[in-house]
Chain A
Amino acid sequence: MKIKEKKWIRFRIFFVSFFLMCGFAAIVARAYQLQVLEKDQLRAIAKAGYTGTIKLPPKRGTIYDRKGHELALSVEVASVYAHPKKVKEKIKTAKKLSKILGEKRYPILKRLSSKRSFVWIKRKVEPAKAEKIKKLGLPGVGITKESRRYYPCREIAAHVIGFAGADNQGLEGLEKKYDTLLRGPTYEFVQMQDALGRPFFVKWRLSNHDQLHQLVLTIDKDIQYKAQQALKAAVIKFRAKAGNCVVMDPYTGEILAMAVIPEFNPNIFTKYSPAIWRNRAVTDCFEPGSTIKAFLVAACLQEKVVTPYSTFNCEHGKYRILDKVVHDTHKYGVLTVSDIVAYSSNIGAIKMGRLLGYGRFYQYLKKFGFGHKTGVNLLGERNGFIRPPEKAKPIDQAVIFFGQGMTTTTIQLARAMAAIANGGYLMRPYIIKKILDKSGRTVKMFRPVRVRKVISGETSAQVVTILQRVVEKKGTGPQAAIAGYRVAGKTGTAQKVDPVTRKYSNKKYMASFVGFAPARHPRFVIAVVIDEPKGIPYGGVVAGPVFRELGLWTLNYLRVNPEVRVAESEAFCKPSISSNGTRCGISGKPSLAPEAFAKAGVVPDFRGLSMRDVLTKANSMGLKVIVQGTGFAYKQKPAPGGSLAKVKVLKVQFRPPT
């Protein structure tokens, strides 16, 4: 019995432990299954339970003008999407969506009925509308955030900046060229959430390693606006096909403005034809016509082939070269080099050019940067074309001296003129001043680059003197003159080649003016090109006024003091202004009456005058005035009545009337 009991107990122990072993084995097996075999899957499920990921739309770098005004920036907006398979009541849903979005019902319904798993209903909608849709809680319809590019200045510099598409990709202009720099990283943030789904721990994560950069342009928003305005007015006035204009700082090569007409609004770029998106100032080549004479005379003077006073017989407007006859607009006899440029005589230019020779002129044109890309950081720049000497026929060798048989872009023209304006240095034009990182630190700075010295400073000064005569009354471009300032420039009226007849058209012209002001220490070079003006084709008449309007405005904007002596000169007294008998010249100072001259040697009495009167009066006398306070003048130093001889600066104090 005892033994039996013992055995039974042993059996029971064995039995229980066997069960326990089995149970343990089962647990181990299950643990293996969960921890090893299904690890990843389960972990993902668990993670999804306590973490949530939110993707932020990628940002794009801002583009600023030279003074830090935004020209292009990105903002988050909402987009409405749908999973068509999850949408139950398609017709009802479409009706509700169409009501809020203000779109037609049928296209929405069509999208909702699509077999795809994901469709956009409408992208980039206003936040208020998105909120409304969110509140409806339609099944299968969702809202996501996307980044949208805004161009707050609308048409301003649109051709330079270009635009970015719906998916944040640069499509035109700088947006395309610097797409990789502007494109920012996609941010994801991972948050852990509790049982109620409230997030309590957030971790930021970068999805890709793109670094966001911002661009600062050399463009000045205000000059750009004025350029577009002035150019647009001219294009409309002369019913021209198109026009473009480049404003450049001659000493640095910075592009201050680049206007192209017709304009487009990059916020709604799809509504314009792609032809309008083109930045014609760099992508369109044209025959420069007479503007090239400025460079011809520079080359001739540099090579000492002629002096400004050398004379040429202009054959009274008709000159035969082989089987062709070259005409001048007006008939001229013997003209000096200076006159040839001022009156733009083609025959004179040919004769002058022949002394220089085609080969040498070709070299100079190359040196002035024609026939080569300028290297400006813009998309789609063209080379232009000059016929090499070995390929030039005799007629080509003659007509190039007045700008036919070669092509150039507006920016090339502007930079070549800048080389004359700045004392002979060819600069590399640039439109990006700085590249900034996300927080605004400068990553890269662009500096002026001198490409080469083309002509000597002496020659440059001679050419500037000659070019100033162009805008004088007898020259071809008096409409480009800016009263109060010395202006130098050259007009151009080029016949266009008719694509059908392949001959120079008598109706289609390219009117241009390239000039700079003030002539001695120029602050800007402006090149204006107007394509196919109707009626009057002359560059001086069509493009000149654009130069004058934009130039005058820019000089005031840049706070350039008028050159008084020029203002006083009779040539600048506009009849319209002086007709009232009291005013003359631009600065509108009262014309110096005889008694004023008599008193010229005496310090005038400014007391009791308004600030405007004091300034105009002092300006007309060539006195520098320092003003203090507001109101009317009550004190001045030195006192009135003394000798003016030693006075350099007058101090005038003002106070409001009591």
Chain B
Amino acid sequence: MTRPERVTVLVRTRNVGTGIRISNTRKKGRRSKVTGKQVLLILVLVTLLMGSGIGFVWSNFETTQIGYDITQLKKEELRLRELNNKLRVELAFLKSPENLEARAIKKLGLRQPKPEQIIILP
């Protein structure tokens, strides 16, 4: 087999062993020269691509982590809300007039004022 002289010429030939017609076309262009600028551009693009890829993965990871945190905090919120509610009930129980009166009398030794002891300021 000889190399065709002109690149544009199609050479069709049969395989000697099998007899199957194969095509063996090849274009050969001029060897292009890659400039430094282009290399730089490609490098920048590749870095950008990789960077954005890493960024995407990282943000996904962060999302998941924050998701965990949110869940924890939500649970904590629920727990605190409930606790707050329970404390409110307790406070309300303690503030009930019956309880306050009993405590004022027993603990502090206070008495109901006699009418003449009450002076209302103008």
Contact = CB atoms under 8 A, between A and B. Distances in A.
Interface of A: 2, 56, 69-70, 73-76, 150, 152-156, 189, 191-192, 198-202, 221-222, 225-226, 483-484, 552, 556, 559-562, 577, 583, 585-589, 612, 615-616, 619, 624-627, 649
Contacts of A155: 98
A222 B97 contact: yes
A586 B114 CA distance: 9
B121 A552 contact: no
6 contacts: A56-B78, A70-B88, A152-B89, A200-B64, A587-B118, A587-B119
Given A200-B64, A561-B120, A624-B122, A73 B89 contact: yes
Given A225-B97, A556-B120, A483 B115 contact: yes
A201 B95 CA distance: 40
B85 A200 contact: no
B96 interface: yes
Nearest to A155: B98
Given A75-B89, A202-B74, A625 B122 contact: yes
Contacts of B117: 588
A616 B117 CA distance: 9
A201 B67 contact: yes
A203 to B, nearest CB: 10
A561 B67 CA distance: 62
B119 A612 contact: yes
Contacts of A153: 92, 96-98
Contacts of B96: 152-154, 156, 221
Interface of B: 19, 64, 67-68, 70-71, 74, 78, 82, 85-86, 88-89, 92-93, 95-98, 113-122
A173 B84 CA distance: 27
A156 B88 contact: no
Contacts of A624: 122
A586 B92 contact: no
B86 A75 contact: yes
A192 B74 CA distance: 14
8 nearest A-B residue pairs (beta carbon): A588-B116, A152-B92, A225-B97, A200-B67, A153-B96, A624-B122, A152-B93, A615-B119
Nearest to B94: A152
A189 B97 CA distance: 39
A200 B68 contact: yes
A198 B78 CA distance: 17
A198 B115 CA distance: 66
Contact of B92 (A56, A70, A222, A561): A70
Contacts of B82: 75-76
A198 B85 CA distance: 27
B71 A200 contact: yes
A226 to B, nearest CB: 8
A552 B120 CA distance: 13
Contacts of A615: 119, 121
A577 B89 contact: no
Contacts of A577: 116
B8 to A, nearest CB: 33
A561 B121 CA distance: 8
Nearest to B69: A200
Contacts of A156: 96-98
A614 to B, nearest CB: 9
Contacts of B71: 191, 198-202
Contacts of A583: 116
Nearest to B92: A152
A561 B78 CA distance: 49
Nearest to B118: A556
A225 B97 CA distance: 7
Contacts of B78: 56
Nearest to A187: B78
Contacts of A619: 119
A587 B88 contact: no
Most chain-B Cβ atoms within 10 A of its Cβ — which of A74, A200, A226, A619?
A: A200
A364 B49 CA distance: 92
A225 B100 CA distance: 11
A493 to B, nearest CB: 28
A184 B23 CA distance: 79
A612 B70 CA distance: 60
Contacts of B64: 200
A201 B78 CA distance: 15
A627 B121 contact: yes
Given A152-B92, A202-B71, A221-B96, 6 more contacts: A70-B88, A73-B92, A153-B96, A483-B115, A559-B120, A588-B116
Nearest to A589: B116
Contacts of B67: 192, 200-201
Given A153-B92, A156-B97, A191-B71, A560 B120 contact: yes
Contacts of A69: 92, 95
A305 B39 CA distance: 117
B88 to A, nearest CB: 7
A626 B115 CA distance: 21
A2 B98 contact: no
A56 B119 CA distance: 52
B111 to A, nearest CB: 14
A587 B117 CA distance: 7
A192 B64 CA distance: 11
Given A561-B120, A586-B115, A615-B119, A225 B93 contact: no
Contacts of A627: 121
Contacts of B95: 69, 152
A560 B118 CA distance: 11
B115 A150 contact: no
B89 A552 contact: no
Contact of A76 (B19, B68, B85, B113): B85
B94 to A, nearest CB: 8
Contacts of A483: 115
